[in-house]
Amino acid sequence: MKILLPVDGSACALRAVDHLISHAAWFRDVPEIHLLHVHAPIPIGRVQAHVGKETLHAYYLEEGQEQLAEAQRKLDAAGRFHTTHIHVGQPAEVISKMAGEQACDLIIMGTHGRSAAAGMVMGSVATRVLHLSPCPVLLVK
């Protein structure tokens, strides 16, 4: 069983981590956990003239590691081995693509609990993942 666990450092994402840890008995075998952070791309424009690719890459890596830190701490404390991934792109698209590339059986992710109206206006990463995902998605409130 391969599980993709996308996190953004928010309390909602950490609830999904807690859910996975507390429901580990659901799985017959120890799941292979892929912890993912997706950083939305910074609009480059003229910035690239002042910031090199290496600097931008280092920024994405540092920010990604910071967003993953608490989820990693929780998984480590629970004795759950995991592999971390940091990507840059549109979150829903990257999450869905990673689930396919890693042949994941399940995506477990938090929701921000917006109302249906707010979700329609602002869009929702979770809703978009539901539509794009090649595997089942478990949403944790």
Segment 88-102 shows an average pLDDT of 97
- The pLDDT tens digits for 45-94 are 666 667 777 888 899 999 999 999 999 999 999 999 999 999 999 999 99
- Domain of 32, in residue numbers: 2-140
As a whole number of angstroms, the distance between CA 82 and CA 109 comes to 15
Residue 89 Rama label (left phi>0; alpha psi -120 to 50; beta): left
CATH number, domain containing residue 77: 3.40.50.620
Structural domains counted in the chain: 1
pLDDT exceeds cutoff 60 at 113: no
Q: What is the pTM of this model?
A: 0.88
